[in-house]
């Protein structure tokens, strides 16, 4: 059975009978986990093992685990700095900032992979202008080339651990005030202004080191009448053609208010896939999931299926070996050093 275009969420720390049925549906290709799905490393390992055993190829298991306030799993995991802290360090010591970015990517990815999580939706490539509270210190910096430089180091650490990287939120969420979880933000700049700043990190990283990209639920009316995640112009003309991106395009969560203008959950999914997404995220709406799956009956995209199979994690360690690995231990030591200074 191939991987389908839907990534769904779960209600709790173990699978229900209904969730097992959904996960076996050929239209489902992945699961995204949240803090509500985590109790301990042992529980998480058991959950991911059960999910992976349901299908062949295994479903992709994802999480948002960037660091700072967006770190879904805490107990038993290393505390990761917000990307903005790493960017702040860059002004004082560029070498240490690059090392810290690489260490954070390595530790984040390694600790997830050994417990069966394939990908974290990271890193954030938005520009930290201080406008958008929902982005805030999730952004590395306000200078796009520094964002690209530190993100490349973060991705290098992820790659060393065996995890594919997903950049977000294309083409940039940092130029708006609104939170797309609660509204549809509007960015009134023209394409040239966006290309000159916000697109630069994506342009630097998309052709070479990013395996996935997640577009923003943001409207750029001077560029296209559709929000980026539902726009064939943004996803095909800009991302695929101009930036030469050949990886997976994930929609952001279709339950967010910023996506509601596209219709019902099923209509949102169809529209996002038609625009160029390979996989759509449907979270926090279990009542709508049957309708979404019904709306996608018969849907197949062999190109998307091929891209998705590249996202399975390739952990270089088991849990005991990870604790003995010199690079991992040094990365943890570096993170602990900054935490002890009261900066993380």
Identify the weakest region by mean pLDDT among 42-51, 174-183, 325-334. Answer: 174-183
Q: What pLDDT band is residue 181 in, cutting at 50, 70 and 90?
A: confident
Identify the weakest region by mean pLDDT among 6-20, 117-131, 245-259. Answer: 245-259
pLDDT over 90 (residue 32): yes
What residues make up the domain containing 169? 6-294+305-340
Q: Report the pLDDT value the prediction gives residue 133, as an integer from 0 to 100.
A: 83
299: in domain: no
234: in domain: yes
* DSSP state, residue 219: B
38: in domain: yes
Helix (H) or strand (E) holding 28: strand 28-33
Q: Report the pLDDT value the prediction gives residue 260, as an integer from 0 to 100.
A: 75
pLDDT over 70 (residue 90): yes
1: in domain: no
Mean pLDDT value of segment 100-118: 97
Kindly report the CATH number assigned to the domain that includes residue 179.
3.20.20.300
Q: Report the pLDDT value the prediction gives residue 344, as an integer from 0 to 100.
A: 46
pLDDT 10s digits, 256-283: 876 777 688 999 999 999 999 999 999 9
300: in domain: no
In order, the DSSP letters of 45-98 are HHHHHHHHHTSSSPPEEEE-EEETTEES--TTS-----HHHHHHHHHH-HHHHH
Q: What pLDDT band is residue 315 in, cutting at 50, 70 and 90?
A: confident
Q: Report the pLDDT value the prediction gives residue 184, as an integer from 0 to 100.
A: 87
Residues linked to residue 8 through DSSP beta bridges, in sequence order? 31, 282
pTM of the model: 0.95
Which residues, 6+ apart, have CB-to-CB distance to 318 below 8 Å? 114
% of the chain residues with pLDDT over 70: 98
36: in domain: yes
Q: Report the pLDDT value the prediction gives residue 258, as an integer from 0 to 100.
A: 67
| Structural domain count, the chain | 1
81: in domain: yes
Report the DSSP pairing between strands 70-71 and 65-67. Answer: antiparallel
- Catalytically active residues are 181, 252
Mean pLDDT value of segment 203-210: 96
**Cα 44 from chain centroid (whole Å):** 19
Q: Is 171 in contact with 194 (CB distance < 8 Å)? A: yes
pLDDT 10s digits, 52-81: 999 999 999 999 999 999 999 999 999 999
Mean pLDDT value of segment 123-140: 92
pLDDT over 60 (residue 343): no
Q: Is 150 in contact with 198 (CB distance < 8 Å)? A: no
175: in domain: yes
């Amino acid at each position: 059975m191939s991987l389908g275009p839907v990534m769904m969420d779960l209600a709790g720390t173990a699978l229900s009978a209904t969730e097992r049925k959904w996960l076996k549906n050929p239209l489902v290709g992945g699961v995204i986990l949240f803090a509500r799905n985590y109790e301990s490393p042992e529980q998480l390992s058991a959950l991911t093992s059960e999910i992976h055993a349901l299908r062949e190829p295994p479903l992709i298991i994802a999480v948002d685990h960037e660091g700072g306030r967006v770190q879904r799993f805490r107990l038993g995991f290393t505390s990761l700095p917000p990307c903005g802290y790493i960017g702040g360090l860059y002004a004082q010591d560029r070498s240490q900032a690059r090392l810290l970015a690489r260490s954070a990517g390595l530790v984040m990815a390694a600790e997830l992979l050994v417990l069966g999580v394939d990908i974290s939706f990271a890193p954030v490539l938005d520009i930290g202008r201080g406008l958008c509270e929902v982005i805030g210190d999730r952004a590395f910096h306000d200078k796009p080339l520094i964002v690209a430089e530190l993100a490349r180091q973060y991705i290098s650490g992820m790659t060393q651990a065996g995890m594919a990287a997903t950049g977000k939120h294309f083409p940039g969420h940092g130029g708006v005030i609104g939170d797309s979880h609660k509204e549809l933000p509007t960015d009134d700049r023209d394409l040239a202004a966006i290309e000159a700043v916000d697109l630069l990190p994506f342009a630097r990283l998309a052709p070479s080191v990013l395996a996935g990209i997640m577009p923003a639920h943001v409207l750029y009316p001077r560029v296209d009448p559709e929000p980026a995640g539902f726009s064939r112009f943004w996803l095909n003309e800009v991302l695929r053609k101009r930036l030469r991106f050949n990886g997976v395009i994930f929609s952001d969560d279709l339950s967010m208010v910023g996506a509601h203008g596209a219709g019902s959950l099923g209509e949102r999914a169809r529209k996002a896939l038609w625009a160029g997404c390979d996989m759509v995220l449907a979270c926090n709406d279990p009542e709508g999931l049957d309708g979404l799956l019904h709306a996608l009956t018969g849907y197949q995209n062999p190109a998307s299926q091929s891209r998705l199979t590249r996202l399975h994690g390739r952990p270089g360690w088991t849990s005991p070996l990870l604790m003995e690995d010199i690079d991992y231990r040094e990365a943890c030591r570096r993170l602990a050093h900054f935490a002890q200074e009261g900066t993380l």
